[in-house]
Amino acid sequence: MERIAVLTSGGDAPGMNAAIRAVVKVAASRGVEVLGVRRGYDGLIDGDVQPLTRRLPGGGRLAPTADVETMGSLGGTVLGSTRCPRFLTSDGRLEAARRLRDAGAEGLVVIGGNGSMAGAHAFAVDTGFPVIGIPASIDNDIGLTREALGVDTALNTIIEATDRISDTARSHHRAFIVEVMGRHSGYLAMASAVAAAADAVLLPEQGRSYDEVIAAVADAIRASFATARDKNRVLVIKAEGVDIPTHHLVNEVSAELADLPQVEVRGTVLGHLVRGGSPSFRDRLLAGRFGLTAVEGLVGGATDVMAGWTYGGERGVPTSDPFIRLFALDDVLVETEALMDGTSAVTMDRVRRMEAIQGVLAL
Ligand code: ADP
């Protein structure tokens, strides 16, 4: 294999640039040139590529271009990302493969979320072009990997924000409802609630009705501010996927607590703040490990697979890294569906553990 291409697709996540850098450095070390595809699958169909490796004068060895050297610490994606309706069609995917072959590429690394992995699988099936996925999504909603790129950075951002909110909440004896991203997956809310010592957490996976959500928050606030307990702040973390707008929830809960006029409830939606930022150490390390195993996989003839941080067990193909395996993309997509609809053993275990500590959170 002499030349491969790499792209980022779907929602951006911190660590995407570190993964591009890893792919380029590993490929260059093995004498494989790398083309960066701008704007995800859109750029693939349009043939919008730039070289990410260059030949050094003299011996002709390959090295990363100057922008690759500096990109690893940046959030977002320097190659850009789009949602691409054309890639949903077979014609679009065939055109993309033709463009790649014209550019001399023999393999493709797709860094993206679960939609991008579905696209990579459809691309491999339709065109036979070798492709390997690297999971990147702050929502942690991709099957067969413990974590996707961006999750650790997003969690660090959330706990920094909730620490700041807790400072002001304690000063005024207030209750705060903080909404974090996660339309279909409550993972960020769940994990940050433990780390931030929240008093309650609201997840789409709990399947609570509108009234149950309001009652749960009101109960948590009432119990925390009761004379016998007398906390000085209440923090409730709500996943975006819980289908009540946060300002609405604040109003409903305040009405529910009308008998406690001294209790003030406030809401903050962290939104896209959680998506940006320089990747954490762990996301950079994971990006390096995914990048290494993806390039080794492509060069070794693997295709239609995703590098995943394994839970252990026998599934997937081992790599040179004991904690990373290559999983068939169709298995990844089946497990991703199950993560979303709550039938995955991983989701059930997360919800069970969360329910087990609800009482502890409230203490
Ligand atoms: P993410 O990768 O963050 O989940 P999307 O769901 O928007 O983001 O997917 C990114 C892109 O992947 C889409 O815009 C589309 O081009 C492509 N894609 C998603 N699902 C499929 C599919 N089933 N078949 C082909 N391409 C897909």
What is the whole-number distance in angstroms between the Cα of residue 76 and the centre of ligand 1? 18
Are 261 and 197 members of one domain? yes
Number of structural domains in the chain: 2
Q: How far apart are the first and last CA of the chain?
A: 58
Spatial distance between the Cα atoms of 283 and 76, rounded to a whole number of angstroms: 13
Domain-embedded: residue 359:
no
What angle, 0 to 180 degrees and rounded to 10, lies between the N-to-C axes of helices 16-29 and 281-299?
Answer: 40
Q: Is 139 part of the annotated catalytic residue set? A: yes
Are 19 and 91 members of one domain? yes
CATH number (domain holding residue 194): 3.40.50.460
Domain-embedded: residue 66:
yes
Is residue 118 lining ligand 1, measured as CB closer than 6 Å?
yes
How does pLDDT run across 118-163, given as a tens digit for each residue? 999 999 999 999 999 999 999 999 999 999 999 999 999 999 999 9
Q: For residues 254-274, give the mean pLDDT.
A: 95
CATH number (domain holding residue 146): 3.40.50.450
The overall longest dimension of the chain from CA atoms, in Å, is 80
What is the whole-number distance in angstroms between the Cα of residue 10 and the centre of ligand 1? 6
Are 186 and 124 members of one domain? no
Secondary structure element (H or E) that encloses residue 131, with its range: strand 131-135
Identify the band that residue 7 occupies on the pLDDT scale cut at 50, 70 and 90. very high
Is residue 116 lining ligand 1, measured as CB closer than 6 Å?
yes
Domain-embedded: residue 113:
yes
Domain-embedded: residue 350:
no
Domain that holds residue 214: 151-276
Are 142 and 283 members of one domain? yes
* Confidence check: pLDDT of 195 > 90: yes
Is residue 10 lining ligand 1, measured as CB closer than 6 Å?
yes
Are 88 and 155 members of one domain? no
* Confidence check: pLDDT of 282 > 90: yes
Domain-embedded: residue 162:
yes
What is the whole-number distance in angstroms between the Cα of residue 13 and the centre of ligand 1? 15
Domain boundary among 238, 255, 276: 276
Domain-embedded: residue 347:
no
How does pLDDT run across 315-363, given as a tens digit for each residue? 999 999 999 999 999 999 999 999 988 899 998 888 888 888 877 787 7
How many Cα atoms are found within 13 Å in the side-chain-facing hemisphere of 5?
A: 31
How does pLDDT run across 293-322, given as a tens digit for each residue? 999 999 999 999 999 999 888 899 999 999
Are 144 and 288 members of one domain? yes
Give the angle 229-234-237 at the CA atoms, nearest 5°: 140
